[in-house]
Structure 1
């Protein structure tokens, strides 16, 4: 049971010190999450209470099933954007069908994650390369910030791609509500200052570290309080300032996702994308924080923990959730010792849902939009383009294409294209594996690339070091390379394939090796293998290659050199 219920592990050693640290962390994170949850629900196109609901049951369930001691689960910007994009395709915002579709999306996502966890298929998330993730998050940050400009301006504008959003905003600029604009710009500037300047200012005044952290995290709460009071005191709602309005004063209700085949079919692919994106983001944060305390997480159990959290959201009025970077870092920095900190945070949010929701009636949407903009702009990182351009052009292509496609076609098309492009680039790179012709380093038993080092070679012997596993994509490339090399010099008597870096040989590659063997035999050239790894040798023994081999299999390349390279024929290569 410990494997599937990590709470049984850390719960046994839970003590008063851990309780104290978890309570302090919960207070800080709760203060941060109240305005953030309302804002992310707005981003997802849902009523503000959905953000609070999605932050209660999911946190409790993750505390039971998750393995990270510091990960804070709930609504996040990117998943909220993906939710809005997916649900808008099946229902109109503001309708009951929209809310049901959001519940269904969480249900499908949770079920998919739990299935992956039970089958221990967490490795599938590795198909999303870091450059693609970085490009997608950067583009998503731009889309999210742009989507909130309509609330800052107080206008009605839609769209799911950057051109659509910008076009809609410019076409409605003449409808700008100047009071809303003032509130939005002021709140945004204040929140940027809180993020960058408040903590240093308080430290200069000698404020205790704990109070400094709480004050810095409570910046959005201050913005909410001040702008809400301003709207109430001056009756700005009557002047066109859009407000949150009435929020139900209750604990999360019991809800049921829609289970019609048509709805499930339409949301299945978006749910899978949300699951994979959410898991990659969550597990990256969890591993980073765990490493700082020399702890470890189990990726497959994390799938179950996140799946349970999403299933909890589906049945308690929420929408898809995952581990958030910002809230998790805050939770960690605040001293959270165990997932119990998340449970205490859920209790705090439940109290807020019951007692504080009437206080946000006059909260302007512009303030929530400012909260979102400030949060997501930290996700935008164009430096990844410069880094990948200087290191690997193929990764640059993947990043740039993901950014452009996400901005131009929408988040689902962007991430799907990014994954497809990553796989294609990987296949392309492995289809042309690095194969080096090597020679003996004088005075040693080591072999190095003849184009990089001064090494001994022999005209009658060609040794090729294959630096990639052989499979159907690159098997023909090796055939062509050997054919080209042996036709360049008629003095060649033997070819040795150095397999020190080959971890696998599939059936297509086996057939290519057999073809190479027959071709070289017809040319009077011996084919030999050296330094073949045990698992590869076991696989080759199941075939006819070794019995038909027009040569030998050597334990080391040096053994092959001693037998196949006559002393008189050796010469020193020029670099």
Structure 2
């Protein structure tokens, strides 16, 4: 217990910023200004996507950013509301509110608290390595399907009707049932908003470059389309009273900073929320660490997964204290933060200050903001989540990985985000077990004029009728132990002259108890047929374990330091 406490304290200890001077502050301030302009409309939109009041999107963009700046590690990762996590929050909170008397806002706050606690616990237990068991095709398939669901969930607001659902079929059915209530003026405004966002996203930066603005500045200004749209549609709504003409607006928004409180989740909610909180934690960690590592490469920055777990967990707990919903890292904002020249995590803290100032002084203006504007921002923003090229790349390179992408994508659309992610995790494990249950092996021979051994099917090598060298290209465990028994049986049956069999073990990193028993059985069977079993190139840790057993003493053959030693000895 004391070791765990010490580990948790070391992870929670704030990391000092690198030498911070005026130049670094200026760079961070510029980056924070740009990210704040991008974050405010996204925060409002993702709050509605999560089924929360719009101001909670801003609450989720204040203290969480400060918490990550203190406890996180990445210098440019932009933490805050994230589309995929928001839709997972809406699904889980809606399910709880339908099954219990707990309102969806309380459920969302509880999700943030639970997710933060899970992430910090994983960091304290050094479970960052678990991310390696969630394959990239599964992550890509889940994110792509989530993007489709997010876009589909906004069609109701774009058409001016009430239509919701957690699966693609449910959303489509709700839209069909409301097709007679479509508002033409809302559709017209939605078309204009989408056109503006698409055009500015694709062409504004290049147009600014042609006007002589440096490319870096043009790229950053090219991302201001959403904030310009918010300003324009809010002004138009106030001037022409769009709400009276049937176009829904945000309405009254609470101005000011969040009222901090320690949420005490109802015990009844934990039964329904622990699994969604775990899934949100997995998505948060997987996406955030992937982004952090991608951005850290050009900077030669080192990312510690366990440290990131604590930083992200602290951000989610801070969001719960603010009365907001779970947060994660955003790819678009992180890229903008990096391109804008952020040097340290102080950029995130400065962004939080910018959002806080906006919440204090500009909230009343947001009452006139059309909801269709926020939905348009969401639909265009999720284009980066849709990556069909990742499926085709995975399918061409490895069919099981392509199938995992496609299966995760399809199940997420049919069952929703929680069912899709659980299916993806299960598929990752199944694929891993399948691959390691029938690993690659090769009968090898000596390359002429060398001490190297290669596959007899690929190279012209020297072999001997009475000697077979079998190279094992995987660790031995319960999942493949029986498979190697069958392989050895087939080799012995096909070579009646065989007197010695060498297991070449350079790729064997461990041998579990099931595999040990299989080796003992293989040695006994070979001995009954007059064949000796030998080992070569056994790694030190594996040999240490084998020496603690009786296997080496009962084995019919010997142990050789190198395969060439075994070849020379057994040839003589």
Q: 2:478 aligns with which of 468, 472, 482?
A: 472
User: Contact between 2:96 and 2:102, CA under 8 Å: does it hold in 1?
Assistant: no
Q: Extract unaligned runs of 5+ from structure 2.
A: 1-5
User: Contact between 2:216 and 2:339, CA under 8 Å: does it hold in 1?
Assistant: no
Corresponding residue of 1:440 = 446
Q: Distance in 2 between matches of 1:97 and 1:508?
A: 51
Q: 2:71 aligns with which of 60, 65, 71?
A: 65
Q: Kindly indicate whether residue 364 of structure 2 is the aligned counterpart of residue 358 of structure 1.
A: yes
User: Contact between 1:140 and 1:411, CA under 8 Å: does it hold in 2?
Assistant: yes
Corresponding residue of 2:496 = 490
Q: Distance in 1 between matches of 2:102 and 2:371?
A: 21
Q: Distance in 2 between matches of 1:408 and 1:5?
A: 40
Q: 2:319 aligns with which of 304, 313, 321?
A: 313
Alignment of 1:404-443 (within 5 A): 404-443=410-449
User: Contact between 1:309 and 1:321, CA under 8 Å: does it hold in 2?
Assistant: yes
Q: Which whole-Å deviations, capped at 9, do the CAs of 1:145-168 have from their partners, x for residues lacking one?
A: 111111111111111111111121
Q: 1:539 aligns with which of 542, 545, 548?
A: 545
Q: Distance in 2 between matches of 1:204 and 1:3?
A: 51
Q: CA deviation at 1:485?
A: 1.2
Give secondary structure in 1 for the equivalent of 2:17. helix
Q: CA deviation at 1:331?
A: 0.7
Corresponding residue of 2:225 = 219
Corresponding residue of 1:49 = 55
Q: Which moves more between the two structures, 301-310 or 84-93?
A: 84-93
Q: CA deviation at 1:207?
A: 2.3
Corresponding residue of 1:145 = 151
Q: Distance in 2 between matches of 1:294 and 1:81?
A: 34
Q: Which whole-Å deviations, capped at 9, do the CAs of 1:250-281 have from their partners, x for residues lacking one?
A: 10112343422211121000001001110111
Q: 1:295 aligns with which of 301, 304, 309?
A: 301
Q: 2:266 aligns with which of 246, 256, 260?
A: 260
Q: CA deviation at 1:3?
A: 4.8
Q: Extract unaligned runs of 5+ from structure 1.
A: 567-575
Q: 2:112 aligns with which of 76, 98, 106?
A: 106
Q: 1:208 to 1:464 in 2, by over 3 A?
A: closer
Q: CA deviation at 1:565?
A: 2.8
Give the TM-score of the pair, scaled to structure 1. Answer: 0.96
Q: Which whole-Å deviations, capped at 9, do the CAs of 1:431-465 have from their partners, x for residues lacking one?
A: 11111000111111111111111111111111100
User: Contact between 2:15 and 2:71, CA under 8 Å: does it hold in 1?
Assistant: no
Q: CA deviation at 1:5?
A: 5.7
User: Contact between 2:249 and 2:367, CA under 8 Å: does it hold in 1?
Assistant: yes
Give secondary structure in 2 for the equivalent of 1:88. helix
Corresponding residue of 1:400 = 406
Give secondary structure in 1 for the equivalent of 2:36. helix
Corresponding residue of 1:378 = 384
Across the aligned residues of Structure 1 and Structure 2, the Cα RMSD in angstroms comes to: 1.6
Give the TM-score of the pair, scaled to structure 2. Answer: 0.96
Q: CA deviation at 1:171?
A: 2.3
Q: 1:74 aligns with which of 73, 80, 86?
A: 80
User: Contact between 2:88 and 2:418, CA under 8 Å: does it hold in 1?
Assistant: yes
Q: Distance in 1 between matches of 2:469 and 2:362?
A: 75
Q: Kindly indicate whether residue 205 of structure 2 is the aligned counterpart of residue 199 of structure 1.
A: yes
Q: Distance in 2 between matches of 1:3 and 1:108?
A: 22
Q: Distance in 1 between matches of 2:102 and 2:210?
A: 51
Q: Kindly indicate whether residue 564 of structure 2 is the aligned counterpart of residue 558 of structure 1.
A: yes
Q: Which whole-Å deviations, capped at 9, do the CAs of 1:347-401 have from their partners, x for residues lacking one?
A: 1100111110111111111110010011102210111221121111111111111
User: Contact between 1:100 and 1:258, CA under 8 Å: does it hold in 2?
Assistant: no
Q: Distance in 1 between matches of 2:514 and 2:221?
A: 63
Q: CA deviation at 1:9?
A: 2.3
Q: Kindly indicate whether residue 25 of structure 2 is the aligned counterpart of residue 19 of structure 1.
A: yes
Q: CA deviation at 1:295?
A: 1.2
Corresponding residue of 2:17 = 10
Q: CA deviation at 1:96?
A: 7.5
Give secondary structure in 2 for the equivalent of 1:457. coil
Q: Distance in 2 between matches of 1:410 and 1:389?
A: 24
Q: 1:551 to 1:23 in 2, by over 3 A?
A: same
Equivalent residue pairs, number: 564
User: Contact between 1:110 and 1:310, CA under 8 Å: does it hold in 2?
Assistant: yes
Q: Which whole-Å deviations, capped at 9, do the CAs of 1:482-512 have from their partners, x for residues lacking one?
A: 0111011211111110011111000000000
Q: 1:270 aligns with which of 276, 290, 293?
A: 276
Q: Which whole-Å deviations, capped at 9, do the CAs of 1:227-249 have from their partners, x for residues lacking one?
A: 12222222221121110001001
Q: Distance in 2 between matches of 1:16 and 1:493?
A: 76
Corresponding residue of 1:37 = 43
Corresponding residue of 1:163 = 169
Alignment of 1:448-463 (within 5 A): 448-463=454-469
Corresponding residue of 2:512 = 506
Corresponding residue of 1:573 = none
Q: CA deviation at 1:322?
A: 1.1
Q: Distance in 2 between matches of 1:461 and 1:210?
A: 66
Corresponding residue of 1:285 = 291
Q: CA deviation at 1:172?
A: 1.4
Q: Kindly indicate whether residue 510 of structure 2 is the aligned counterpart of residue 525 of structure 1.
A: no
Give secondary structure in 2 for the equivalent of 1:248. coil
Give secondary structure in 2 for the equivalent of 1:448. strand
Give secondary structure in 2 for the equivalent of 1:9. coil
Give secondary structure in 1 for the equivalent of 2:443. strand
Q: CA deviation at 1:328?
A: 0.8
User: Contact between 1:6 and 1:66, CA under 8 Å: does it hold in 2?
Assistant: no
Corresponding residue of 1:172 = 178
Q: Which whole-Å deviations, capped at 9, do the CAs of 1:179-209 have from their partners, x for residues lacking one?
A: 1111111111111111110000001011245
Give secondary structure in 1 for the equivalent of 2:250. coil
Q: Which whole-Å deviations, capped at 9, do the CAs of 1:278-304 have from their partners, x for residues lacking one?
A: 011111111111121111122111111
